Amino acid sequence: MSLETMQAKLELRELVDSYATLTDTKKIAEQMQLFTPDTRFSVYIGEHRVSETNGTEKLEEEFNEHVSVVKRYFTTNAQHVVELNGDTATGVVFSQMKMVRDNEDGGEVITDYSVQYHDVYVRSNGRWLIKERSSHYIIIESRLLQS
């Protein structure tokens, strides 16, 4: 593996880890800087696409709506499989995400998500960005959070 390939893979890993960290800290405006302005973001539950958003302006609105109802996030990224092709790349990120929300009884509900992100990346002005992201929610489990 060439030094250039290793550098690109490291930069792409930092990109996907930054996405997770900014989600966990609810820094949505900063998170939008990781995407191309014309990004496409899709969400799948099983085989069914439940949403598709085009452009960072609309994506930022949707993410802000989502974080307004989530008290806490915690994300762990695992494998990141990448195929490079010059200034473009594709990748799959395996991720575990937890979200804590209030329930109607005054308690908290934690939802565990096992997610695969299928990405298309582009290098623009020497910086890798997410051009397309398809979030595939493979396993979803919710339960009352024990104090």
- DSSP letters spanning 48-90: EEEEEEESHHHHHHHHHHHHTT-SEEEEEEEEEEEEEETTEEE
Residue-level pLDDT at 1: 76
Per-residue pLDDT tens for 41-95?
999 999 999 999 999 999 999 999 999 999 999 999 999 999 999 999 999 999 9
Give me the phi and psi of 134, to 5 degrees please.
Answer: -110, 115
Q: State the amino acid at position 87 in one-letter form.
A: D
Q: 147 pLDDT exceeds 80?
A: no
Contact 105, 76 (CB under 8 A): no
Query: What is each CA distance from 43 to 19, 36, 40, in whole angstroms?
Result: 16, 18, 10
Residue-level pLDDT at 146: 82
Q: 132 pLDDT exceeds 80?
A: yes
Tokens, residue 122: 């582009």
- pTM metric for this prediction: 0.94
Return the CATH class of domain 3-144: alpha beta
pLDDT band at 104 (very low <50, low <70, confident <90, very high): confident
Residue 70 neighbours by CB distance under 10 Å: 14
Per-residue pLDDT tens for 13-36?
999 999 999 999 999 999 999 999
Residue-level pLDDT at 105: 85
Average pLDDT over residues 7-11: 96
Residue-averaged pLDDT of the chain = 96
Q: Which residues of 91-124 are buried (b: 16+ CB within 10 A; e: fewer)?
A: bbbebebbbeeeeeeeeebbeebebbbebbbebe
